[in-house]
Copies of this chain bind each other. A is one copy, B any other.
């Protein structure tokens, strides 16, 4: 008998009340329920009014896709080359589903925005929470199997073997990305993130290479599906995640948090909770309990309170954000910007704007695809890259994807970088004038 959740992306998300009990129990924990209050797309809702869906539904989706991957492999049971894999997948099923479900519990409010500001990443917090004996997820995991807390932590930290457990959850072709591309695309209403999920799952292969595993797709069947998946990701970054207005909104929030931190450090009276104070003033010693009190409603509430604060910079920035008077942007290059910087700073000051908060450079970087060979050569770490994607022929021989695909070749191993100057509308004319006269035209 299944327990089912209605989901707009996957329709019915079902888990078996017996076999998948662990997942169902983890869903009821404080750590998972908290994700209801953290938006999956951060501040993108300023551009896409429909996009305030949350990480809780995403986490269900990721666990569900993991379940589908495991079930899907069973269709190869007649093929002796897949027997070990299928047995392993069954053996690790509870662990794989648990790790998929939990992979995001370490997220800060406003997701990646705060990661950068605080200088901590969500994977480390996920590991910490899973291993904290006081956390509910830890207790549920341990009650199921004493090794599970450590094993989930290893999967998240990418040290677990067999490595397919790691790669299915976090690589360049993983169930996390599959879910968020479809989900963000659905709620924002842009078509860019759609790809051929059914066909991709149908052509997905896990292939053992020595004592490692690669995630691959069937060469004959899956090339176009995996291309469409990578292009979906490329477009979502280009068009949606790195949309100029949502990046500018992010830059404003960073400025706000910066200002609030400084005021708190200077013992100025502004609204704050203990947990938020911990985050801003001493993140290195933030407790798990305090961490779990941090979510989007708290941040939004703080912005509203700060919009009425005595500090004119803090209140002005918050009001602008809440009334959606988002900073304007201009694409610049580093050299041109440095050249103009003195004039820009002077302009801002003359208009009464402190350049530290009102003239901000935002740099958005995306790697649509980094091929596996390069990854090996550079020893680049996972946070930047993930793993290469391979095509498997009938004999399960692998070739690297970008060798086969002109389209993917065109966007491989390239960091797409956009530097944008963000500033209030009031400065627009002045700034455009400065760049126009400098001869160093903005992009």
Q: Which residues of A contact B (CB under 8 A)?
A: 1-2, 4-9, 11-12, 14, 16-18, 28-30, 33, 36-37, 45, 47-50, 52-54, 56-57, 60, 75-76, 78-79, 186-192, 194-196, 198-199, 202, 224, 228, 231, 235, 238-239, 273, 293, 295-298, 300-301, 304-305, 322-325, 406-407, 409-411, 414
Identical copies of this chain, number? 4
Instruction: Offer 16 A-B interface pairs, CB within 8 angstroms, sorted by A.
Output: A6-B48, A6-B49, A8-B50, A11-B189, A12-B198, A17-B78, A30-B323, A33-B323, A53-B187, A191-B194, A192-B224, A194-B194, A295-B304, A297-B298, A409-B410, A410-B410
In the bound complex, do residue B410 and residue A76 qualify as a contact, i.e. CB atoms below 8 Å apart?
no
Query: In the complex the two chains form, is A57's CB within 8 Å of B49's CB?
Result: yes
Q: Which residues of B contact A235 (CB under 8 A)?
A: 224, 228
User: Which residues of B are found within 8 Å of A47, using beta-carbon distances?
Assistant: 6
Assembled-state Cα–Cα distance A54/B52 (Å): 8
B194–A1 touching, CB < 8 Å: no
A5 to B47, CA, bound (A): 8
Q: Is the CB of B239 within 8 A of A224?
A: yes
Chain B neighbourhood of A409, CB < 8 A: 410
Contact at A297–B304, with CB atoms within 8 Å? yes
Cβ-defined contact, A192 with B30, below 8 A: no
Across the interface, A228 reaches (CB within 8 A) one of B54, B192, B202, B323, namely B192
Among the listed B12, B29, B301, which residue makes an inter-chain contact with A199, where contact means beta carbons less than 8 Å apart?
A: B12
Are A188 and B8 touching (Cβ within 8 A)?
Answer: yes
Task: Determine the chain B residues whose CB is within 8 A of the CB of A76 once the complex forms.
Answer: 1
Contact A45 B36 (CB under 8 A): yes
A11 contact from B12, B30, B198, Cβ within 8 A: B198
Alpha-carbon gap, A266 to B42, bound state (A): 39
Q: Are B49 and A52 in contact (CB under 8 A)?
A: no
CA distance A11 to B238 in the complex (A): 19
Q: How far is the CA of A384 from the CA of B201 in the complex (A)?
A: 37
Q: Which of B187, B190, B297 contacts A187 (CB 8 A)?
A: B187
